[in-house]
């Protein structure tokens, strides 16, 4: 009765490996997807800003200059992009900080455990 156990073991191992591989692929694809999504969103933002500019163009007031409007539209768009970048940077910084704190507390716990262990050894 030795063989079925090893065969089952082998099957389980294989299933585990395949599952891990698929999960990894999913993660990678999700990463790519989010990048693509971000590009698409940027494109949409550009289009939206452009269409807003076009709408403003159609309703031209008297003392109007195209160049001034373009500059304004670009400024609005750049401001939006800058805000978005700042948001992303802030989030990344926050995540880094969280990670640092978690690592620090884990390190402290480990040192405490080591100190305790060495104390018991000396006794």
Q: What was the pLDDT predicted at 2?
A: 53
CA within 13 Å, CB half, 26: 6
Q: What was the pLDDT predicted at 89?
A: 93
Note the pTM of the prediction, 2 decimals.
0.35
Q: Distance of CA 71 to CAs 9, 19, 68, Å?
A: 68, 53, 5
pLDDT in tens, the chain (123 residues): 455 567 778 888 888 888 888 877 777 777 766 777 888 888 888 888 888 877 877 777 777 777 887 888 889 889 999 999 999 999 999 999 999 999 999 999 999 999 998 888 776
């Amino acid at each position: 009765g030795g063989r079925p156990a090893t065969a089952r073991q082998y099957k389980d191992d294989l299933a585990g490996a395949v599952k891990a591989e698929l999960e990894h692929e999913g993660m990678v694809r999700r990463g790519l997807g989010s990048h693509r999504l971000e590009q698409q969103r940027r494109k949409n933002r550009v289009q939206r800003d452009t269409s807003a500019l076009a709408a403003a163009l159609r309703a031209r007031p008297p003392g109007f200059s195209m160049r001034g409007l373009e500059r304004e539209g670009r400024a609005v768009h750049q401001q939006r992009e800058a805000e978005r970048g700042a948001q992303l940077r802030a989030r990344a910084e926050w995540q880094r900080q969280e990670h640092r704190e978690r690592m620090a507390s884990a390190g402290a716990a480990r040192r405490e455990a080591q100190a305790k262990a060495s104390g018991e050894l000396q006794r």
